[in-house]
Amino acid sequence: MTDPGPWQSTPADTPSHPPYPRTPPSGAPHFAAAHTVDPAGPHPPGSALSPSPEYWSHPAPAPHNKRPKGTGLKVTNIILLCVLALVTVGTLAVFALSIGASVFLICGALALIPLAICVLTLVWVDRWEPEPTTALLFGFCWGAGMAVVTTLVVGSWVQPLLMAGNAQADPDVVGAVIQAPLVEEVCKGAGVLLLFFLRRRTFDGPVDGLVYAGIIAAGFAFTENILYFGQALRDSDDAAGGLLAIFVVRGLMSPFAHVMFTGALGVCVGYAARYGGTPLVLGAWVLGLVPAMLLHGLWNAVTFVGDSFVLMYLVLQVPIFALFITGILLLRRSEARLTRRRLSDYVPPGWFSQQEVPMLASGAGRRRALHWARTFGAGSTMKEFIRVATRLAFTRNRLLVDAKGAPGSAAAARFARARVQELALLNAATAARSDLLGRHSAAVYQARTFQAPTIQAPTIQAPGP
């Protein structure tokens, strides 16, 4: 365990002095001093160094109300989540009755494999700024339940309309290449749009859009796989060969198919959520349906090529998947760069030190910080510090986007809400840092008090005569 150094803040009358008289030992994170000055006051910490001191003059916090603002939205989220969970359970129960309980259990167990692959991958993608678990559950239930039900209902209306225009077309081809991409992507995409309105504060970037859309798509694919596996088992007269073939194609060769389709829409919505308001998001949602439907239709068309399926899979689907992975890596790097830029804005006012920024805005820095904190049992506190700092960076970005909004506009309203949220996050970051320092000081004291070895001088006896 290493000593991270002194934590005294820089005197207010000597802003040019460095906040740390010495560099902490190697391996220890370097924290800024824990400020106790309320930024609502006339002299926020470090304001003499701020390029725009008026920005740091936050309005006074609103008086406490018995019913906090946003309670109604939280209740709405809980109610909708319960409703979607019931719809999902009911949908799976109907399918179990239609294909038989034993077949449902077998197919459900197989469908869990691609689901686990997708969920674990999305959790890895979402590591930089994890989304709320309840929001992810909401997305999964929408995909596994509501999206499936609406697809079956709406699809039964759309299929006859498509066939009416071309009676000579193969119904299977029309259903797979046109009707399924059109209906399924709209139904899944509706869940992405709903999550944007319900989780506006945490839906603020393309990675968020990808994760929310991906979890919806994973839920949809889970229920759909059960139906496909059950149909394959029934068509093969309960022989394992047909079930194994469809499991390899859908469960192992293309577990991310639906995630890629709907993920393209989610990325478009996420970009719009970061740089604009509701009108831009609605436009991006419509625009994002185009690549989602095209990718979906292309994948379904490949299944009709017969003997050339493997070749088409290697030529088309594998490169698309490689581009998808490359895009995810680029988005993650973009999130890290944005976090670093926005947290650097808080260095001149003194809320963070220059050394803290790379610790909080890089994967390597976070790993070292967590390792250091775990040496004295403060790993959870460090995780909270990282989480709050990341949320603060994205809130700061939203402030910069909405700062030019005209008075009375939606952007101005978002700017006002974001400033209140920023103040709460700054105080939360200060509290987390103080908790870390207190835990470290206590650990150092205990180590020096109870673990220092006691050295006793040996007793020397004079030799006898």
- Per residue in 392-445, pLDDT tens? 999 999 999 888 877 888 888 888 888 999 999 999 999 999 999 899 888 888
C-alpha to C-alpha distance for 402 and 204, rounded to whole angstroms = 13
pTM given for the model:
0.82
Residue 49 has pLDDT above 60, yes or no: no
Q: Cβ(246)–Cβ(229) under 8 Å?
A: yes
Q: Cβ(254)–Cβ(197) under 8 Å?
A: no
C-alpha to C-alpha distance for 101 and 5, rounded to whole angstroms = 63
Map residue 59 onto helix, strand or coil: coil
C-alpha to C-alpha distance for 210 and 261, rounded to whole angstroms = 10
Cα–Cα distance list, 397 to 199, 267, 406 (Å): 17, 18, 18
Residue 452 has pLDDT above 60, yes or no: no
Residue 26's pLDDT band (cuts 50, 70, 90): very low
| DSSP per-residue string spanning 197-235 | HHSGGG--SHHHHHHHHHHHHHHHHHHHHHHHHHHHHHH
- Per residue in 182-220, pLDDT tens? 999 999 999 999 999 999 888 989 999 999 999 999 999
| DSSP per-residue string spanning 252-321 | II-TTHHHHHHHHHHHHHHHHHHH--HHHHHHHHHHHHHHHHHHHHHHHHHTTSGGGHHHHIIIIIHHHH
Query: 218 Cβ partners below 8 Å, 6+ apart?
Result: 115, 118, 119, 122, 140, 143, 258, 259
C-alpha to C-alpha distance for 171 and 427, rounded to whole angstroms = 61
